[in-house]
Amino acid sequence: MSLFSQTITDFWRTQFFNGDVLYSDEVFTVAINPDLSEDSWIIVLETSDGRVMAVLTPAPADKIGLYQVQDLSEPIFRQKLIETGVTLHGADYLFYFSEANKNELLQENLEGDLRHLTEQDDAVFSEFQSSASEQDLDDAYVELDHWAVFGSFEQNRLICAANMYPWEDAQIADLGVLTLTPFRGKAYARKVVRSISKYACDQGYEPQYRCQLDKLASVSLAKAAGLTLFGKWDVISPDSTD
């Protein structure tokens, strides 16, 4: 039985196995999928068990010369990318709730001064944004008009907010979270993440938490909120050679 839900495993299986498998061994798989979007024509996923899967569209695969390689491996594949001027964006960690942890979350009565935010919270949300740095706003990408937004308050002031929106036309809800600097390290983000994740699960979605590999505080938050590492996900860089 998989650690994660069928929704999650089916989504990633579709990404990599909806086309033709060009090469596969115990640790590395390369597939060709003509249906990938134009801005994600290479996707690389390294799962937490050490397997690496890469998928790309046919034309780049031909340009990189993958059809001519007999014994492919991850190092050879990455070297081929470099030689052709193809660069990846930089991996993100992917976290999801395991089935066991999700069931625990759904039975939890979450407490604290937090709630679902609506357009009527525009004034407090604007004040919240004005108290955050531009870098934090860009990194978190928390907006009031997203699919779901939850916030935590202290003395009627919004100090932590998380948002979600459906991801890649799947029953997966991607999550962003931002806590104002003076209030970090006090478990506000953990409670907000769990609250909005429970809401998403109740709506039939699987919460997804992404963060860059060097964002140690974000990694710690994911684990504290009960999420489990699924793997590392990377896509083509927008600055890469065509």
pTM of the predicted model over 0.85: yes
Confidence of residue 114 (pLDDT cuts 50, 70, 90): very high
Confidence of residue 242 (pLDDT cuts 50, 70, 90): low
pLDDT tens-digit series, residues 158-193: 999 999 999 988 999 999 999 999 999 999 999 999
Helical segments of 109-162, H only: 122-130, 134-140
DSSP string, 40-52: GSEEEEEETTS-E
- Walk me through the domains of the chain, giving residue ranges and CATH numbers: 6-93 (no CATH), 98-226 (3.40.630.30)
Q: What angle is formed at CA 173 by the lines to CA 125 and CA 136, rounded to 5 degrees?
A: 40
- pLDDT for position 241: 53
- pLDDT for position 237: 85
- pLDDT for position 200: 97
Closest by alpha carbon to 51, among 32, 25, 28?
28
pLDDT tens-digit series, residues 25-84: 999 999 999 888 877 889 999 999 999 999 999 988 888 888 888 788 999 999 999 998
- Least confident segment among 35-44, 46-55, 141-150, 224-233: 35-44
pLDDT value at 1 more than 60 = no
Instruction: Identify the three-state secondary structure at position 211.
Output: strand
Cα-based torsion angle of the residue sequence 185, 190, 191, 192 in order, rounded to the nearest 10 degrees:
100
